């Protein structure tokens, strides 16, 4: 709003005077400050964005191009287009199919861990005496490093002084068994099942607290037993948490590398256990890329791993949406 004042001159004339808007100078300063803050904010956004493009975007683009090219070692300048010859090499390699099978087994271990986490969380949710202590004990494997976990299980499966052989009275080399090479696969599964439930227990226990007790009381009035309550109240209420943990299980299972690699330290740049029984897809990528220096072939397996995980996660979300629509 403009402020008008009048001034009377010596001759008696009335001269109107218009003063500037109130706060004009202050608003101009404020606009400049906002503009400066916007520029600073944009700079802080661009810095990590540029870093992502350089350190993630360009390598992704390079790995995608390398699938269709011949390449000498790590020399990017040696890329030569060869159409789909690399895909024929991968699809005729039996190690590729074995890596898929071993990876599926490791993912099965993640599913078992999820079921164990649900059962333990249901028990802890009853607030029995000592539940807090048990919760901490169950969470210890999750906070331990993979090296520590694998070292412990290698001691358990040791051929000479291992706990398992001491109990059974045998001297079986569980991690390098020439008669039954699959024992190393089972050793990896056991270690995974032991270490993986901890995070699921915490997530499920928090989800249990979010279920309204009135639902169970209403179901009891209607004569529902414990199994029906679990099936029709608990399971649907925990569905979002279960979906989240399943997605995490897909990522952890299909990207499994540390446990197999550490349990088979002998020539781990070229082999993955006796008869490749510890060869997960990520391990196969490591052997192709670092062991054989065939980055083009390693890129193919990496992208296929990405596509497989994407399809499984997509199906999980679709199933979740369908179950919600049917409720």
Which pLDDT value is given to residue 7? 56
For residue 285, pLDDT beyond 90:
yes
274 against 32, higher pLDDT = 274
Write the pLDDT tens digit of every residue in 207-252: 988 888 888 888 888 888 878 888 888 888 898 899 999 998 888 8
Which pLDDT value is given to residue 299? 93
132 alpha carbon, distance to own chain's centre: 27
Write the pLDDT tens digit of every residue in 317-326: 888 887 776 6
The number of beta carbons lying within 10 Å of the beta carbon of residue 45 is 10
**Mean pLDDT score, 191-201:** 90
Tokens at 24, concatenated: 């004009």
State which H helix or E strand residue 249 sits in: helix 239-254
pTM: 0.78
Give dist(CA 291, CA 270) in Å, integer: 6
Give dist(CA 41, CA 309) in Å, integer: 35
Which pLDDT value is given to residue 46? 86
Tokens at 125, concatenated: 């949710």
Residues sharing a CB contact under 8 Å with residue 189, sequence separation 6 or more, in sequence order: 105, 106, 108, 109
Distances in Å between the Cα of 17 and the Cα atoms of 7, 11, 14, 21 are: 7, 17, 10, 13
Which pLDDT value is given to residue 221? 86
Nearest Cα residue to 180 out of 157, 154, 162, 153: 157
pLDDT band at 34 (very low <50, low <70, confident <90, very high): confident
Three-state secondary structure string covering 307-325: HHHHHHHHHHHHHHHHHHH
199 SS3 class: helix
Q: What angle do CA 88, 57, 65 make, to 5 degrees?
A: 25
Which pLDDT value is given to residue 26? 55
pLDDT band at 11 (very low <50, low <70, confident <90, very high): low
């Amino acid at each position: 709003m403009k402020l008008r004042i009048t001034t009377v001159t010596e001759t008696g004339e009335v001269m109107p005077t218009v003063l500037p808007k109130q706060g004009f100078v202050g608003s101009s300063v404020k606009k400049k400050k906002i503009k400066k803050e916007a520029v600073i904010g944009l700079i802080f956004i661009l810095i990590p964005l540029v870093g992502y493009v350089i350190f993630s975007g360009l390598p992704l683009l390079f790995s995608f191009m390398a699938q269709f090219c011949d390449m000498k070692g790590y020399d990017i300048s040696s890329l030569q287009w060869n159409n789909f010859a690399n895909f024929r090499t991968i699809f005729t390699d039996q190690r590729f199919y074995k890596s898929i099978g071993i990876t599926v087994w490791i993912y099965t271990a993640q599913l078992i861990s999820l079921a164990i986490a649900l059962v333990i969380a249901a028990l802890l949710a009853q607030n029995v005496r000592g539940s807090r202590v048990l919760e901490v004990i169950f969470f210890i494997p999750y906070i331990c490093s993979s090296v520590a976990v694998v070292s412990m299980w290698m001691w358990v499966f040791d051929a000479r002084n291992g706990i398992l052989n001491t109990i059974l009275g045998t001297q079986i080399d569980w991690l390098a068994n020439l008669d039954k090479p699959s024992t190393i696969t089972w050793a990896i599964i056991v270690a995974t099942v032991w270490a993986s439930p901890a995070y699921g227990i915490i997530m499920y226990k928090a989800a249990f607290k979010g279920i309204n007790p009135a639902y169970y009381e209403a179901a009891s009035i209607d004569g529902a037993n414990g199994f029906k309550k679990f099936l029709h109240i608990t399971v649907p209420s925990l569905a979002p948490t279960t979906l989240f943990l399943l997605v995490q299980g897909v990522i952890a299972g299909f990207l499994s590398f540390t446990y197999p690699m550490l349990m088979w330290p002998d020539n781990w740049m070229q082999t993955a256990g006796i008869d490749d029984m510890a060869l997960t897809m990520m391990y196969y990528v490591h052997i192709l890329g670092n062991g054989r220096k065939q980055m083009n072939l390693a890129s193919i397996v990496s992208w296929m791993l990405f596509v497989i995980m994407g399809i499984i996660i997509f199906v999980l979300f679709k199933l979740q949406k369908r179950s919600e629509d049917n409720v």
